[in-house]
Amino acid sequence: MTLPDRLIRRLLPANGEAHPAQLRARLGLLAALVGIIVNLLLAAGKLVTGLLVQSVAIRGDAINNFSDSLSAAIALASFRLSQKPADRRHPFGHARVEYFASTIVAVLILLIAVRQFSDSVARIREPSVIPLSPVVFLVLTASILLKVGLYFFYRSLARRIDSQLLAATAVDSLSDVLATGAVLVASCLSPVLGFDLDGYLGIAVAGFIAWSGIGILRDTADHTLGTAPPPELVSQIETYLRRNPIVLGVHDIIVHTYGPGRNFVTADVEVDARSDLLATHNSLDNLERNAMLDLGIQLSIHMDPIVLDDPETSRLYQLTKETVRSLDPRLSIHDFRVVSGPSQTNLIFDVSCPDELENADCQLNERIIRALHEHDPSWNIVVTIDSSYVTRPSTRLR
């Protein structure tokens, strides 16, 4: 059994059950407390050692560990704030506070990188070979081992509770391993070579720190701006909806994420137009209510009735679908309706279109109309192009 599994067992109530949000908060708070304690101990040990041997790289590594303890403190506050219930000003909750906390952590990391670079340049200008002592070797080796342990600890918990903040902290711990390893190499080789590597490897340390900070900023920006949902989640939602026998098709799935564990989903489902309206509505209501228990999402369903018993409508649907797909296999149609009049027939439908295709061909609407008019010029084609808000087109079930 892994360490996170043991922690989960210990943090569960006596009855063995806990709400996912409560368990997530407890594990996040525990991870933050462990980070504060370990990094403060490492910072103190390295600072004393760096002052004794006059090593700018070791002192810089100590300051980096101190910043890590500040990051852990920010994470501690973040996990507590993210559990605040929704209110009037924030009706979707406060889970996105983790993204802002990750941004603060990244900025701190970048500031430390700038300071480390400045100190390293000063050391290059005034070099001084430092003899390796057993104390330096033991402190740096212990730091590497502890940081490796923290990396796997944070990474495992981040995956378990889907925390961008803990994932960023895990990456930061890994960069610390590389940075401290560089300091250890400098301490070992400088006396042998008779050349002070401290400042040069201190610059390398600054580079590692800066790179991890930039990566955290990039990932946090993606989450703040909004990214396409994972394909696994989209497939899970589709499968969940398909299990209901009244659902004939699924399209226009849109996932709005307001922080970890705060997914609000809208989806259009196609149902038989001949079915009992009240019974169908009740069945879809049950799907919406059970989605929170089964998938952990807030689900809102839009019902699209489709005609299945009219041979002419079915013929025109198949013809339209094949014509649209002949233009590009990635295209699919939905919400297909036929409105016949005394002088013309109206074909009304939507087309699901990948973003890259829509951007590359702004005349897609006209192309579809021209292709269908080759079958019958008298048709009035009313087509709406839908962008795909998921990482792949929704599965057409009809």
Say which residues have a Cβ less than 8 Å from residue 218's Cβ, sequence separation at least 6.
none
More confident of the two residues 67 and 303: 303
pLDDT in tens, 25-47: 777 778 888 888 888 888 888 88
Supply the CATH classification number for the domain 230-303.
3.30.70.1350
The percentage of residues in the chain with a pLDDT greater than 90, rounded to a whole number, is 1
pLDDT in tens, 134-155: 877 888 888 889 888 888 888 8
- Specify the DSSP class assigned to residue 303: E
Residue 57 has a pLDDT of 65
Looking at the predicted structure, is the pLDDT value of residue 244 above 80? yes
| Predicted confidence band of residue 10 (pLDDT cuts 50, 70, 90) | low
Alpha carbon distance 359, 356 (integer Å): 5
238 contacts 394 by C-beta, under 8 angstroms: yes
Looking at the predicted structure, is the pLDDT value of residue 266 above 80? yes
Domain coordinates in residue numbering, the chain = 3-225, 230-303, 310-398
Q: Phi/psi of residue 2, each to 5°?
A: -75, 165
Residue 17 has a pLDDT of 47
Q: Phi/psi of residue 353, each to 5°?
A: -130, 125
Residue 389 has a pLDDT of 63
Looking at the predicted structure, is the pLDDT value of residue 269 above 70? yes
CATH superfamily of 310-398: Cation efflux protein, cytoplasmic domain (3.30.70.1350)
Supply the CATH classification number for the domain 3-225.
1.20.1510.10
pLDDT in tens, 178-229: 777 777 787 777 777 777 777 787 788 788 778 878 887 887 787 777 777 7
Alpha carbon distance 268, 305 (integer Å): 10
Looking at the predicted structure, is the pLDDT value of residue 396 above 80? no
Q: Phi/psi of residue 168, each to 5°?
A: -65, -40
Alpha carbon distance 107, 208 (integer Å): 14
Looking at the predicted structure, is the pLDDT value of residue 20 above 70? no
Tell me how crowded residue 107 is: count the other CB atoms within 10 A of its CB: 13
Tell me how crowded residue 51 is: count the other CB atoms within 10 A of its CB: 12
Work out whether the CA dihedral 346, 242, 246, 252 comes out positive or negative. negative
Query: Per-residue pLDDT averaged across 361-390, rounded?
Result: 80
Strand order through the sheet with 249-257: 249-257, 263-272, 297-306
More confident of the two residues 319 and 293: 319
Alpha carbon distance 52, 38 (integer Å): 22
pTM, two decimal places: 0.61
Distances (CA, A) of 244 to 191, 252, 269, 281, 288: 73, 18, 11, 12, 12
Residue 391: burial class (beta carbons within 10 Å; 0-12, 13-18, 19+): middle
Residue 1 has a pLDDT of 52
The rounded mean pLDDT for the chain is 78
Tell me the pairing of strands 297-306 and 380-387: unpaired
Query: Per-residue pLDDT averaged across 3-19, rounded?
Result: 52
Residue 331 has a pLDDT of 85
More confident of the two residues 94 and 361: 94
pLDDT in tens, 343-361: 778 888 888 776 666 544 5
310-398 has the same fold as 3-225 = no
When mean pLDDT is compared across 72-81, 322-331, 355-364, the lowest value belongs to: 355-364
Residue 387 has a pLDDT of 66
